[in-house]
Structure 1
Amino acid sequence: MAGDRVALTFDDGPDPRTTPRVLTVLDERGLRATFFVLGAAVARSGSLAAEVVAAGHELGVHGFRHEHHLLRGPGWVLEDLRRAVGVVGEATGQAPRWFRPPYGQLAAGSLRAARALGLEVVLWSVWGKEFADPELERIRRRLASGLRPGAVVLLHDSDLAAPAGTGARTVALLPGLAEDLAVRGLRAERLDRVAA
């Protein structure tokens, strides 16, 4: 049961340019989160993925590559997720529990692959859309309107699969989001602690 908890989630990292800055703000504000990582990014930055976990956060998978599953066959999707799960486990010593499909597009192959690999599918209930909107206050209001116990907040900690500046906007948004959570008596947590 969610109680006073909100699941804070980030997609598309880990990114050495922005993920460490996200981690710093999360630590300063006492926030915990789940990072839906790209396997290819973890393969390049395994130590950063391990740092995310060591800081008290958890990793889910967002695929090995950020590709539309609706355009790929079931075999391709299964292999993509299998590679992502493998590289995350190798980097962190922990098997991921969660899967969020790229672009939030759930194909039948995505569901079968997730089930075959023991992954639970997670989408979101409130989305910053910070990749498409440069106005921080408008993004903050959009996020605040959906903050309630059990909400799943989607932001991006990286520009790897999003327009340049997305990760930096997320970093700039986090202090305000922390304030909005506090005003509502909510706290940001890892998905496993919200779903429990």
Structure 2
Amino acid sequence: MAAAAGRDLGRPVPRLVRRLPQDECVALTFDDSPSVRTPRILDILHRYRVRATFFTLGEHHVAADPGTVRRMAAEGHEVETLAWSHRIVTLIGPAEAREEITRGRDAVAKAIGRPPVLLRPPQGRTSPTVTASCRRLGMVQVLWSATASDYETTDCALVTRRIVTRTGPRPGEEYRDGPLDR
């Protein structure tokens, strides 16, 4: 993985170069998109020719800012879903959980003309019921192996360290159906 030197949202970004074996890759993902920062993030990704996956919320983001969602897709990024309203799908009934997932999927499809195939359940909380709902909808769940916890800090160097030191499969991690499926 390589991150270029520069400025991110007005703050200095440390220069990183880390080589991965040729058969490994890192997926860069953003949750709760689009936000007010997304256009700037898209500009940075474009400048460095980096593709990312954006996990969107139908109610708060896709419906409110379909233009940015269309830009994500037009620039070659994956546009996927977190669901409709960020309700924790393991704390609601199976029918409600399926509705949350379906409405989030349908909002993305309406914005970009194709339905998402990936679901990142809110807060990474999943269950066999959520997995079954995804499969019935032709979707796969994707979680993460490293998190920046950027909601806890504005320290760019700390966020960078968190990702660089945590990137890679965890011991015993199993990959099924391509993406992580839990």
Q: Same fold by TM (over 0.5)?
A: yes
Q: Determine helix, strand or coil for the equivalent of 1:60.
A: strand
Structure possessing the higher relative contact order (Cα contacts under 8 Å, 6 or more residues apart): 1
1:75 pairs, out of 95, 98, 114, with 95
Q: CA deviation at 1:133?
A: 2.4
Partner of residue 63, structure 1: 83
| Equivalent residues of 2:149, 2:159 under 8 A apart | yes
In structure 1, distance between residues paired with 2:23 and 2:162: 22
Q: Determine helix, strand or coil for the equivalent of 2:26.
A: strand
Alpha-carbon spacing, 1:115–1:4, altered in 2? closer, same or farther (3 Å): closer
In structure 2, distance between residues paired with 1:62 and 1:109: 16
Instruction: Give the structure-2-normalised TM-score.
Output: 0.77
Moved over 3 A (4+): none
Amino acid corresponding to residue 57 of structure 1 in structure 2: H
Out of 47-56 and 139-148, give the one that drifted further: 139-148
In structure 2, distance between residues paired with 1:70 and 1:89: 24
Q: Determine helix, strand or coil for the equivalent of 2:30.
A: strand
For structure 1, the 5+ residue unaligned runs are 152-193
Deviations 1:28-86 (A, max 9, x none): 11110010101111111112111100011011110101111222111001011111111
The answer to whether the aligner puts 1:119 opposite 2:139 as a matched pair is yes
Deviations 1:134-172 (A, max 9, x none): 322122111111334x79xxxxxxxxxxxxxxxxxxxxx
Partner of residue 47, structure 1: 67
Deviations 1:74-131 (A, max 9, x none): 1001011111111111110122110000000003332122111111110001110010
Out of 27-36 and 139-148, give the one that drifted further: 139-148
Instruction: Give the structure-1-normalised TM-score.
Output: 0.71
In structure 2, distance between residues paired with 1:140 and 1:113: 35
> What are the within-5 Å matches in structure 2 for residues 1-196 of structure 1?
3-15=23-35, 17-40=36-59, 41-148=61-168
Partner of residue 167, structure 1: none
In structure 2, distance between residues paired with 1:109 and 1:65: 18
In structure 2, distance between residues paired with 1:43 and 1:136: 30
* Structure richer in helix, relative to its length: 1
In structure 1, distance between residues paired with 2:136 and 2:72: 26
| Equivalent residues of 1:73, 1:109 under 8 A apart | no
Partner of residue 174, structure 1: none
| Equivalent residues of 1:78, 1:109 under 8 A apart | no
Structural RMSD (CA): 1.8
